[in-house]
Amino acid sequence: MSQDGRTIRLLIADDQALVRGALGALLDLEPDLDVIGMASEGAEAVRLATELRPDVCLMDIQMPGMDGVEATRRIREASAGTRVLVVTTFARPGYLRSALDAGASGFIVKDTPAEQLAEAVRRVHAGLRVLDPVLAADSLFEGANPLSDREQQVLRLAADGRSAAAIAAEVFLSAGTVRNHLSAAIGKTGAGNRAQAVQIALDKGWI
What is the CATH topology of the domain spanning 149-204?
Arc Repressor Mutant, subunit A (1.10.10)
Distance (Å, whole) CA 70 – CA 156: 16
Sequential pLDDT tens for the chain (207 residues): 545 567 999 999 999 999 999 999 999 999 999 999 999 999 999 999 999 999 999 999 988 889 999 999 999 999 989 999 999 887 676 777 788 889 999 998 888 888 889 999 999 999 998 987 666 555 554 556 788 889 999 999 999 889 999 999 999 999 999 999 998 888 888 888 889 889 888 877 788
φ/ψ of residue 3, rounded to 5: -60, -30
Question: What pLDDT, on the 0 to 100 scale, is given for residue 122?
Answer: 95
Distance (Å, whole) CA 38 – CA 32: 18
Pick the CATH number of 8-141 from 3.40.50.2300, 3.40.50.10380, 2.40.30.30, 2.60.120.10: 3.40.50.2300
Question: What pLDDT, on the 0 to 100 scale, is given for residue 4?
Answer: 54
**Pick from 104, 109, 100: which is nearest to 134 by CA?**
109
Which ranges in the chain are annotated with CATH 3.40.50.2300?
A: 8-141
φ/ψ of residue 128, rounded to 5: -95, 165
Question: What pLDDT, on the 0 to 100 scale, is given for residue 105?
Answer: 94
pTM: 0.66
Question: What pLDDT, on the 0 to 100 scale, is given for residue 190?
Answer: 81
> How far from 35 is each of 98, 110, 135, 146, CA to CA, in Å?
26, 17, 27, 38
Which ranges in the chain are annotated with CATH 1.10.10.10?
A: 149-204
β-bridge pairing 106-109 and 33-39:
unpaired
